[in-house]
Structure 1
Amino acid sequence: MSVQINLNQPPFSFLDDTQLDWLTSRLDLVFYPAGAVILNEGDASPGLFIIYKGVVEESDQSGEQVFSQYGREDIFDVRAVLESRCKHKYTAIEETLCYLLKAKDFIRLIETSDDFSIYFKTDLGTRQSLVEQRDNSVSEFILARIDEDTIRPPVYVNGQTNLARVATLMHEQKYDAVLVRSGHETGIVTGTDLLKATLMADKGKQDKVADVAQFRLIEVEYGDFLFGALLKMTQHQIERVVVKRDGEIVGLLELMDMLSLFSTHSHVIAMRIEQAKNQQELVVAAKRLDTLIESLAGQGVHVSAIMELITTLNRRLIQRAFEIIFPQRLRNSVCILVLGSEGRGEQILKTDQDNAIILKNEHDREAVKPLLQQLHQALLDFGYPPCPGGVMFINDSWIETTEGWQARVGRWIEASTPDAMMNMAIFMDAEPICGDAQLFYPVKASWQGEDLRTSLALVWFAKQALQFETPLTFLGKIREDHGKVDIKKGGIFPLVHGVRSLAFEHAVDECNTLKRLEILQHKGVLEEDVAQGLRDALLFFIRLRLRQQLEREGENRGLSQQLELDKLRSVDRSLLRHAFHRVKKFKQQLFVHFHMENF
């Protein structure tokens, strides 16, 4: 029989060719007229239904409570097959054709295909991970771990060894770095360190190696993913890390060894940023970031790892521009804050600028403003469009001293108006990235007082999470607007702000939503399954949005929040519907938790 549905997508793409051919041969095409009951509550299901044409409604036995509706290529009722009875009633709303895979055949496939079985028996996060891996054909590098084949055995020297002897040893061993034992400390010295010490400093060949070694080692664990080690190298602007196993050093992991395995060369971009002498060179590096993102996404790198890496590179880009533009005498007179998704570390493609500045002294304002204009222009050149709401450090309303920001936070909380609460939400995600970070900490403390967290302002703050409706119909289907859905308003914002509200209440210090969820779970504020469900939903929303953003052409594609539903496969629509239901349930929990019935 010729099958008229797409079986080259999850979960059927988890089957090998032989299993897929067998599946196709076992499908029957069944017809149901409008109004026909396909399954009744309590029935033993004949098998797995895949809709070819028509609409099927899931309801209670009376038909009064409708749970969901299913359309082309949607699947039902897996649970009935696995649990041997149907919990709900399924009715054809219009003339419907379905492919039926008999229960015994479905069970056979589950027993013979691990991924096929896992997809149907696990949660949203596991399912989307399976889909993501299969979609992107995950590269061997992404799955590779640090092992004996990727590390170099350590070579040690005594801290009293002279520089000439160390240089000779490194040449003989063909190593660019050795470990240095000095008392109870272990450090590292590289060929570059020796060169700088002898040519640029006042060290001679007979000086001790302990005097030039670095004793703050950056470490990774044996067995960790290679990608995680690459991320650490990028974050710390280094070219090697120490590998430990059970607390003992077992080797060194070198950047050049890794680059031979990893074609995206994120560290090369980091080095270009580090070595840039002017803004034009930074612009060249910035323009390579989108290519890097496309490469990482195409290789199947998990979206959370992409977010972390791109956040690291973006912040270093801004820091380097700050160092080029601001003279040394003014760098510690200010603190540059990134806000919004950049502050949370949840930005991938560049969105609009959200930033602010803290002045150490009010009298520095006039000296700093021309420099901020230059930095703002640099961000424009990097690809960050202006913020439509004006949340930028070039505007006077986002420039204050520490005391000024403390007073402003107090006014926002006291006012508790929607605008004030949104300003508070933006500022709560602030992260200091340039200048003197110490200027920010007293400001942050101003919204973490016990009296503020128990005030009515907290309820008004949390209420903002409910301002947009979840895009689900009464029947549980995705509600679209001319074939599109706003993923930020419908899913990302209520989830992020709801978690932010709980973080506000419990004085959670972290900005990142995933880390906030982890802490809230640890504190017992959220049950483990709720926290995990929200984590899975957020990552799915971001991944789906990124996929469609990358398909768009032109600048500022990172600003697009519209998902085109007709471009989604049935498996993605199913996962999206599931994720929206999690957000809807979370909003109901927030309503009860913050006692919003009186507001």
Structure 2
Amino acid sequence: MSIQDQKTFLSNIHPFQVLTAEQMEICIKHMDIAYYPKDSILINPEKIPNYFFIVIKGSVYEYSVENVVLMDYHHQDSFDSNSLIYGKCNNIFKVYEDLICYELEKNTFLKLIELNQQFKDYFLKDLVNKIQTLKNKEYTSELSSFMIAKVEDTLIHEACIIDENTKLIDAIQKSMEYKTSSIIIKKTTGEYGIITDSLLKTKVLLEGRDLTISVKDIAIFPLLTVNNDDYLFEALTVLIKKNIKRVGVTNNKGEMIGILEQIDVLSHFANHTYVVDSKIKKANNLEDLKSASKDLINIISSLHAKGVKVNHISNLIGQLNTKVYQKLYELILPEELRDNACFMVMGSEGRNEQIIKTDQDNALVIKDGIDVEQYRFYMNEITKNLINFAYPVCEGNIMVSNPFWCKTVNEYKNETARWIEAPGIQNYMDLAIFFDSFAVAGNKELLINLKDDLFNKLHDKDVFMAYFAKATIAFDTPNTVTNIMTKSHIIDIKKTAVFPIVQGIRSLALREKIRETTTIKRIKILEDRRVLEKEKAAELLEAFDFVNTLRLKSQLHDIQHGKKITNEIDTHTLGKIERDLLKDSFKIINEFKRFISYTFRIDRIS
């Protein structure tokens, strides 16, 4: 292989492309090609190498001392920086297929680390930072201001801040000097409130109040705020979720530094989200609502193409879906029935993690003493219309049109007791789906009551929790990517990667009585409670984001080509960096499975 071929080969491998021309020359000068037959031991605890290996052809497996495959390395992969940097290795590197590789001298490798900070950072970073680095490299072409813009990057209006005891007329005069329609009120406690033009019309003009009243008499408290360092996309989600036109902006000290207006956020993004949100709000009939809901797939495609992270997309789409459900509930149910029941979404919808409409998971809980039968017709209408809106039928019939998922509070309590006392696969599944339930319309206190009851029933139910958590390890997660690439290049990313994280975290959340339903927020709460170590939580968040990104990318491809939406990923379509990310994600997931098995003592049950 010529020197130019060597340069070309290395320039395609991260992080070698960050080397300067001079550093690349040093690298190539001290690098040779070597051959090792199958079953050769390259590294083990007693054999620390004098080379950094870069695979040209063949493959190498990394084993634990217990002979468990931890990682596989093949074309363009490299190993083992840790052995060279720290002078020790706990694992065994064994040739799986005859190996042809580059060997970079140890001293040269260590010299390059000292000469190039980016090169050094990559090898000295932990797994989470390595994953983030690879993601940034893989998706750099897709990144845009849409994804990375912070609140401070857009227009923040100067805030007109006045004391809570200020006379209204003086406050209005000051707002005119600031040329703003918003007056920010600050209490002595430090809490902020707001007075808008619309509030002046309704609370002062229409009620005939005197302008000498104190601003605190009509102000709305508290004022919703975002941090100036927050992503602008997160601010947009708050505006959409709360149906408001502006939020306060604070710094890291909690001090008010300005006002962020919805119109400025929308002009920054120039996307279709606000249009859809407005169409849902203004829908006066089912056809208008159907038209609005059909626009969601265009938003998803646009956001994904612009590099927006999956959890941000799911959060925004979840808010819009919730508004569709609320409006549908309002349009179909007579007003006198609405507050005596709670309409809820469950499963992936309840976790706010169903981006593409794959199925319905919804239910109704009705106040005790109210006749359930009077809701039957309307629940059938809800299901029928959701199908008409392109929300697919749930194959398990987990829909409000099914009497099993439309009953009173007391009937649900009897059901949860049966799930716990007579455990079985179906009961575990029903409990898992129900635990992820989220109230979207009606009387939300009914669902809160049921969750309280469920938590009380699970006290000291260690054996039940062990069986419930066991589902985390129900599906195999590959130890390596090689067996996927060579044996069966189609994998179900939901079973192998998404579900183990969701179920494992759900099990911990149920045991800890955590009310939050989204997997990401559950992970953060578990970290705060020290159930998960900070590093483990960070790894799970990165792995969960990546596998869901692959899933969404594949599903959008299916939609664009008129195929049935599935959870299958064709690994032959993955680039090297995506394959490396998948490999690292599998490693994190398998370690998490072992953590769940140990935490719930799954080995002690049959």
| TM class by smaller structure | 0.7 to 0.9
Question: C-alpha deviations, 1:357-389, integer Å up to 9, x for none?
Answer: 101256543332222233223322443211111
Is 1:120 the equivalent of 2:126? no
Amino acid at match of 1:216: P
SS at match of 1:579: helix
Q: Aligned-pair distance for 1:554?
A: 4.7
Residue 414 of structure 2 corresponds to 407
- 1:66/1:316 Cα in 2 relative to 1: closer, same or farther (>3 Å)? closer
Please report how far the alpha carbon of residue 476 of structure 1 lies from its aligned counterpart in structure 2 after TM superposition.
Answer: 8.3
> Which among 483, 489, 504 is matched to residue 483 of structure 1?
489
Match of 2:276 in 1: 269
Q: Partners in 2 of 1:134 and 1:46 — Cα distance?
A: 29
Q: Structure 1 residues 323 and 548 mapped into 2: Cα distance closer, same or farther (>3 Å)?
A: same
Residue aligning to 1:144:
149
1:260 counterpart letter in structure 2: S
Moved more, 324-333 or 48-57: 48-57
User: Could you say if the C-alpha distance between residues 361 and 467 of structure 1 is closer, same or farther in structure 2, counting changes exceeding 3 Å?
Assistant: same
Q: After superposition, where does 1:46-65 map in structure 2 within 5 Å?
A: 46-59=50-63
Deviation at 1:55, TM superposition (A): 2.3
8 A contact 2:30–2:108 mirrored in 1: no
Q: 2:506 matched to 1:503?
A: no
Q: Deviations for 1:139-184, whole angstroms, at most 9, x for unmatched residues?
A: 2353333349631111256764359x94x87677543323357898
Q: CA separation of 1:56/1:136 partners in 2, compared to 1, >3 Å: closer, same or farther?
A: closer
Structure 2 counterpart of 1:399, which letter? C
Aligned CA-pair RMSD: 3.6
Does residue 522 (structure 1) correspond to residue 528 (structure 2)? The answer is: yes
CA separation in 1, counterparts of 2:91 and 2:442?
60
Alignment equivalent of 1:330, drawn from 337, 349, 365? 337
Tell me: CA distance 1:169–1:592, structure 2 relative to 1, closer, same or farther (3 Å): closer
**1:135 maps to what in 2?**
138
Match of 1:177 among 173, 178, 182: 182
CA distance in 1, matches of 2:16, 2:287: 46
327-336 or 98-107, which moves further after superposition?
98-107
Aligned to 2:539: 533
Q: Any idea what the Cα deviations from partners look like across 1:270-316, whole Å, max 9, x if unmatched? A: 33322333333333332332332233333333333223222222212
Q: 1:470 aligns with which of 452, 471, 477?
A: 477
In structure 2, what is the Cα distance between the partners aligned to 1:94 and 1:360? 65
What amino acid does structure 1 have at the position aligned with 2:584? Answer: H
Supply the distance in 2 between the matched residues of 1:557 and 1:353 (Cα, whole angstroms). Answer: 19
Work out the percentage of aligned pairs sharing the same amino acid: 30
Please state if 1:584 is matched with 2:590. Answer: yes
- TM-superposed deviation, 1:531: 2.9
User: Residues 536-575 of structure 1 correspond to what in structure 2 (within 5 A)?
Assistant: 536-554=542-560, 559-575=565-581
Distance in 2 (CA, whole Å) between partners of 1:483 and 1:180 is 60
Distance 1:78 1:369, change over 3 A: same
Most deviating of 142-151 and 532-541: 142-151
Distance between the aligned counterparts of 1:481 and 1:442, measured in 2?
50
- Between the aligned partners of 2:487 and 2:345, the Cα distance in structure 1 is 33
Distance 2:82 2:556 in 1: 35
Find out whether 1:39 has 2:45 as its counterpart. Answer: no
Call closer, same or farther: CA 1:226–1:277 in 2, change over 3 Å.
Answer: same
**Quick one: which of 281, 286, 299 aligns to 1:292?**
299
Q: What is the CA–CA distance in structure 1 between the aligned matches of 2:284 and 2:9, rounded to whole Å?
A: 53
Distance 1:93 1:525, change over 3 A: closer
8 A contact 2:364–2:407 mirrored in 1: yes
Question: For residues 296 and 147 of structure 1, do their structure 2 counterparts lie closer, same or farther at Cα, with a shift above 3 Å needed?
Answer: same
- CA pair 176-115 structure 1, distance change in 2 beyond 3 A: farther
> Which shows bigger deviation, 107-116 or 291-300?
107-116
Length-normalised TM-score, structure 1: 0.87
**Cα displacement (A) at 1:560:** 1.8
SS in 2 for 1:552: helix
Higher mean Cα deviation, 73-82 or 142-151? 142-151
Shift in Å, 1:241: 0.7
Worse overlay, 363-372 or 336-345:
363-372
Equivalent AA in structure 2 for residue 329 of structure 1: E
Query: What is residue 249 of structure 2 aligned with on the other side?
Result: 243
Once the two structures are superposed, what CA deviation does each residue of 1:397-456 show, in whole Å capped at 9, x if it has no partner?
111100010001011111111111111111111111110001112211222126644253
Q: Give 1:96-495 correspondences, 5 Å limit.
A: 96-104=99-107, 106-107=109-110, 109-111=112-114, 114-137=117-140, 138-147=143-152, 150-156=155-161, 160-162=167-169, 166=172, 173-180=178-185, 187-194=193-200, 201-203=206-208, 210=215, 213-245=219-251, 246-361=253-368, 363-449=370-456, 452-472=459-479, 478=484, 482-495=488-501
Question: Alpha-carbon deviation of 1:461?
Answer: 1.6
Paired with 2:369 and 2:86, the residues of 1 have a C-alpha distance of: 69
**CA distance change for structure 1 residues 525 and 181 in 2, over 3 Å: closer, same or farther?**
closer
Distance 1:96 1:500, change over 3 A: same
1:185-206 Cα shifts (integer Å, max 9, x gaps): 753233344456689x455896
Paired residues in the alignment total 594
1:239-290 deviation digits (Å, cap 9, x = unpaired): 1111233343221111222223223353443333223333333333323323
Unaligned ranges ≥5, structure 2: none
Q: Which amino acid aligns with 1:224?
A: D
Higher mean alpha-carbon deviation, 42-51 vs 410-419, is at 42-51
1:591 CA drift (Å): 2.8
> Matches of 1:203 and 1:344 in 2, distance apart?
46
